[in-house]
Amino acid sequence: QVQLVESGGGLVQAGGSLRLSCAASGLSFSTYVVGWFRQAPGKEREFVAGISTSGTQKIYADSVKGRSAIFRDNAKNTVYLEMNSMKSEDTAVYYCAARQNLLLMRSTSYYDQWGRGTQVTVSS
């Protein structure tokens, strides 16, 4: 069990960049895989990026691949999502989620620990 709190959201200009943080409280954070998801109004919650327990495996949605980076600092119990070249389509509530497992997956249903989300709005 971990508690997750997202931060770093806000208003950003199209073409700009943003770094989101997912801070975890609790023990054994390094045993959890972590994923970032987002949900725009009227749309399904979708996978954005994921990272393995050690940080050696990273996966990205096609929509953000090449302009996003996920990384973690287990010593700080934090996972980050850096997004560059932001587009209006990136506007959404961003959530981090975790599961105590070695397997990294893209599906929403796989994760059982969720933060409350942070709003990201891209202005154009």
pLDDT digits (tens, 9 = 90+) for 24-67: 998 799 999 999 999 999 999 999 999 999 999 999 999 999 99
- In angstroms, the CA 76 to CA 70 distance is 15
* Residue pair 45/29 in contact by the 8 Å Cβ criterion: no
C-alpha radius of gyration, the chain, whole number: 13
Nearest Cα neighbor of 2 from 34, 25, 23 is 25
**124 or 16: which carries more pLDDT confidence?**
16
- In angstroms, the CA 69 to CA 50 distance is 10
Task: Please report, in angstroms and rounded to a whole number, the separation of the first and last CA atoms in the chain.
Answer: 39
- pLDDT in the model for residue 73: 97
- pLDDT in the model for residue 26: 83
* Residue pair 48/37 in contact by the 8 Å Cβ criterion: yes
Residue 1 has pLDDT above 90, yes or no: no
Confidence of residue 78 (pLDDT cuts 50, 70, 90): very high
Give the three-state DSSP class for 97.
Answer: strand
Give the three-state DSSP class for 7.
Answer: strand
